[in-house]
């Protein structure tokens, strides 16, 4: 593939000059400068858990695109549902009107969601769901006579999206810095990284969990309970590397939220829809959120859709008189996206994808844990089909990669080498250096072994480069 220098104009090429996607396509979260003299990997087709690039090379999709393609690629039944809906009604807004697929999907999500989470506000993706949830809780507290409650508490290194509100909640300082000043009123507390727990808690996961949950209480008291509206937490925190909650963590967090009338928003943009082997992440760990924010796996990627699923209690003041939630998105609850989600949930039921994940999460863990015999592997952690392998320079001392190691070895070698070995996954250094795996929910031992083999070979070479 030839790469041309970037062109300055949007005029079409004359003649037969080949173009690279980087001539005009601005990739998300990408250092565009690194593509000036090399081609962009270009994926053309998907089938089951496998991807094919424009040169016909095959890759195991060990990240489900971006934690999205739960049911796998090439599902004719979902495609047919989208086509049929598009033929019948290509588009209509849910601004004061409804469409049958939006009604049906909201009913279905309300029935599936835990407890009294019965109202569904559709968006087109995860950032919008998080943005929606923050605006919603602010208005909720105004409506019930507590207008001072506007602030949010989230966790260090957690990623909650890119729009200005969601980005303010995001705990990755490097992502926020270029866009400051952002929305004020967010405080951050420690996450549940037990591998790097403070020394006095390093032996007892339960105590560590209580300590981490209690940091929310500390923050609420420091800010003033009358000013704090909500906490935003993922069931398993993605950024930093799949941090599961320690035992008792969510029980204590729920208790704290109840004590100070602070709402618990479970940001399940990754963890919902089977990623952990349950429909929602809250189900896996047995807690009751006030709002669930979700997106990604809801449609398995066959269309773009997000949803904030809200409790009866929060909805109640919005149900009165002339009150409205003055918020929405033209494409939120798009009928074709709702049709895709309904067909996707049918696949979940027909093929028992949740049961499959629950039966296979332990084999996946055991397969990845084989890698701990390599000196570069510090920790293997996660839940369901959502795992991270943390890389270190010294296993016993848990010495983290330096910034230079991340640039040279993680980004410069590990990431491209795994891809060249035929496995698409994610090397991430938003916290410590990790490699992340979240395969489609149809994968089994053969795919787990393929991941392990590729990692073993690449990490063995990476060790010699440190
Ligand atoms: N919240 C969480 C937990 C996420 O993981 C993401 C995206 O990865 C988002 C929010 C933002 O979602 P989107 O990229 O669909 O806007």
Atom of ligand 1 nearest to the CA of 161: 11
pLDDT at 81 over 70: yes
Which of 297, 459, 280 is closest to 368 using CA atoms?
459
Q: Which atom of ligand 1 is nearest to the CA of 234?
A: 3
Q: Considering the domain 41-71+353-463, what is its CATH architecture?
A: Alpha-Beta Complex (3.90)
Bridge partners, 243 (sequence order): 237
The confidence score (pLDDT) of residue 36 equals: 84
Helix, strand, or coil here: 163? coil
Sign of the torsion angle spanned by Cα atoms 357, 359, 362, 363: negative
Mean pLDDT (whole number) for 22-37:
90
Q: How confident is the model at residue 38 (pLDDT cuts 50, 70, 90)?
A: confident
Residue pLDDT, tens place only, 134-154: 999 999 999 999 999 999 999
Checking DSSP bridges between strand 377-383 and strand 228-233, what pairing results, if any?
Answer: unpaired
How many A from CA of 127 to the centre of ligand 1?
A: 5
* 21 has a pLDDT exceeding 80: no
Examine the pLDDT at 29 and tell me if it is beyond 60: yes
CA of 124 to the centre of ligand 1 (A): 11
Domain 76-350 classification at class level? alpha beta
pLDDT confidence tier of residue 1, bands split at 50, 70 and 90: very low
What is the distance in A from the centroid of ligand 1 to the CA of 238? 10
Q: What is the pLDDT of residues 299-317, one digit of tens each?
A: 999 999 999 999 999 999 9
pLDDT, residue 338, reads 99
**H or E element in which residue 436 lies:** strand 434-437
Using the mean position of ligand 1's atoms as its centre, give its distance from the Cα of residue 242 in Å: 14
Q: Distances in Å between the alpha carbon of 337 and those of 80, 342, 354, 399?
A: 12, 9, 22, 45
Pocket flag, ligand 1, residue 130 (CB < 6 Å): yes
Confidence of residue 6 (pLDDT cuts 50, 70, 90): very low
Q: Helix, strand, or coil here: 12?
A: coil
Q: Is the CB of 354 under 6 A from ligand 1?
A: no
21 burial (CB, 10 Å; 0-12 / 13-18 / 19+) is middle
Q: b or e along 65-74 (b: 16 or more beta carbons within 10 Å of the residue's beta carbon)?
A: bebbbbbbbe
pLDDT of residue 2: 31
pLDDT at 20: 60
267 CB within 6 A, ligand 1:
yes
Indicate if ligand 1 lies below 6 Å from the C-beta of 297.
no
Please answer whether residues 11 and 49 qualify as being in contact, where contact means their C-beta atoms are separated by less than 8 angstroms.
no
* Collapsed DSSP state (helix, strand, coil) of residue 306: strand
Q: At residue 294, does pLDDT exceed 80?
A: yes
Q: Residue 133 is encoded by which pair of tokens?
A: 């949830």
Q: Provide mean pLDDT across the span 345-372.
A: 98
* 164 CA to centre of ligand 1 in angstroms: 13
Confidence of residue 215 (pLDDT cuts 50, 70, 90): very high
* CA 382–ligand 1 middle distance (angstroms): 18
Per-residue pLDDT tens for 432-447?
A: 999 999 999 999 999 9
Confidence of residue 194 (pLDDT cuts 50, 70, 90): very high
56 vs 38, more confident: 56
For position 419, what pLDDT does the model report? 97
Does the pLDDT of residue 268 top 60, yes or no?
yes
Six-digit token pair at 381? 């952690």
Nearest atom within ligand 1 for CA of residue 166:
10
What strands, in cross-sheet order, belong to the sheet with 58-61? 43-47, 50-53, 58-61, 423-424
pLDDT band at 37 (very low <50, low <70, confident <90, very high): confident
Q: Is the pLDDT of residue 363 over 60?
A: yes
Nearest Cα neighbor of 156 from 173, 139, 144, 180 is 173
State residue 12's pLDDT score: 36
Residue nearest (by alpha carbon) to ligand 1 atom 15: 126
State the distance from the centre of ligand 1 to the C-alpha of 373, rounded, in angstroms.
33
125 CA: nearest ligand 1 atom: 15
Model confidence at 131, pLDDT cuts 50, 70, 90, reads very high
pLDDT tier at 10 (50, 70, 90 boundaries)?
very low
Which 3 state secondary structure label does DSSP give 25?
A: coil
* Segment 322-350, tens digit of pLDDT: 999 999 999 999 999 999 999 999 999 99
Question: Under the phi-then-psi rule, with left for phi > 0, alpha for psi from -120 to 50, and beta for the rest, what region is 64?
Answer: left
pLDDT band at 269 (very low <50, low <70, confident <90, very high): very high
When pLDDT is averaged across residues 402-425 and rounded to a whole number, the result is 97
169 lines ligand 1 (CB under 6 A): no
Say if ligand 1 is within 6 A of residue 234 CB.
Answer: yes
- pLDDT above 80 for 5: no
pLDDT above 90: residue 15: no
Q: In the chain, where does the domain assigned CATH 3.90.1150.10 lie? A: 41-71+353-463
The residue among 66, 62, 398, 387 whose CA lies nearest residue 244 is 387
**Spatial contact of 162 and 168, defined as CB atoms under 8 Å apart:** no
Give the three-state DSSP class for 186: strand
Percent of the chain with pLDDT over 70: 95
| Ligand 1 neighbour 228 (Cβ under 6 A) | no
Residues of the chain with CATH 3.40.640.10: 76-350
Structure tokens at 301: 């990627």
User: Among candidates 300, 290, 294, which has minimal Cα distance to 281?
Assistant: 294
314-to-138, 208, 289, 291, 336 alpha-carbon distances in Å: 11, 31, 11, 9, 28
Mean pLDDT of all residues belonging to the chain? 95
Ligand 1: nearest atom to the Cα of 306: 15
User: What is the Å distance from ligand 1's center to 160 Cα?
Assistant: 5
CA of 461 to the centre of ligand 1 (A): 33
Distances in whole angstroms, Cα of residue 307 to Cα of each of 84, 110, 123, 302: 22, 11, 5, 15
pLDDT at 373 over 60: yes
């Amino acid at each position: 593939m030839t790469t041309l220098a970037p062109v300055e104009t949007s005029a079409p090429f004359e003649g037969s000059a080949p173009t690279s996607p980087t001539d005009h396509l601005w990739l998300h979260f990408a250092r565009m400068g690194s593509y000036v003299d090399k081609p962009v990997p270009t994926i053309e087709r998907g089938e089951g858990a496998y991807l094919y690039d424009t040169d016909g090379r095959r890759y195991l999709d060990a990240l489900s695109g971006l934690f999205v393609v739960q049911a796998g690629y090439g599902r004719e039944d979902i495609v047919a549902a989208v086509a049929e809906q598009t033929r019948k009604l290509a588009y209509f807004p849910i601004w004061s009107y409804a469409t049958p697929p939006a009604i049906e999907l909201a009913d279905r999500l309300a029935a599936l969601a835990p407890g009294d989470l019965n109202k569904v506000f559709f968006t087109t993706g995860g950032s919008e769901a998080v943005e929606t949830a923050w605006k919603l809780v602010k208005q909720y507290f105004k409506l019930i006579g507590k207008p001072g409650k506007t602030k949010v508490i989230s966790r260090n290194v957690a990623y909650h999206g890119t729009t200005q509100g969601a980005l303010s909640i995001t705990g990755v300082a490097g992502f926020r810095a270029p866009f400051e000043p952002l929305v004020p009123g967010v405080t951050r507390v420690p996450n549940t990284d037990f591998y790097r727990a403070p020394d006095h808690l390093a032996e007892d996961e339960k105590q560590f969990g209580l300590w981490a949950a209690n940091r929310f209480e500390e923050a609420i008291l420091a800010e003033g309970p009358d000013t704090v509206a909500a906490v935003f937490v993922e069931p398993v925190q993605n950024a930093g590397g799949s941090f599961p909650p320690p035992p008792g963590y969510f029980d204590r967090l729920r208790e704290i939220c109840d004590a100070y009338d602070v709402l618990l928003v479970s940001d399940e943009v990754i963890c919902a829809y089977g990623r952990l082997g349950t429909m929602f992440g809250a189900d896996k760990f047995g807690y009751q959120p006030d709002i669930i924010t979700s997106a990604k796996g809801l449609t398995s990627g066959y269309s773009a859709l997000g949803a904030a699923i809200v409790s009866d209690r929060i909805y109640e003041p919005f149900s009165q008189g002339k009150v409205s939630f003055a918020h929405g998105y033209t494409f939120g609850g798009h009928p074709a996206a709702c049709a895709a989600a309904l067909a996707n949930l049918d696949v979940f039921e027909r093929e028992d994808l949740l049961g499959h994940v629950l039966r296979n999460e332990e084999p996946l863990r055991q397969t990845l844990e084989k890698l701990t015999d390599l000196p570069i592997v510090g920790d293997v952690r996660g839940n369901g089909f959502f795992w991270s392998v943390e890389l270190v320079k010294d296993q016993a001392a848990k010495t983290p990669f330096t910034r230079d190691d991340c640039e040279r070895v993680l980004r410069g070698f590990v990431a491209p080498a795994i891809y060249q070995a035929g496995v698409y996954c994610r090397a991430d250094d938003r916290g410590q250096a990790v490699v992340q795996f979240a395969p489609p929910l149809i994968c089994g031992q053969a795919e787990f072994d393929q991941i392990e083999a590729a990692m073993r070979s690449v990490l063995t070479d990476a060790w010699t480069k440190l």
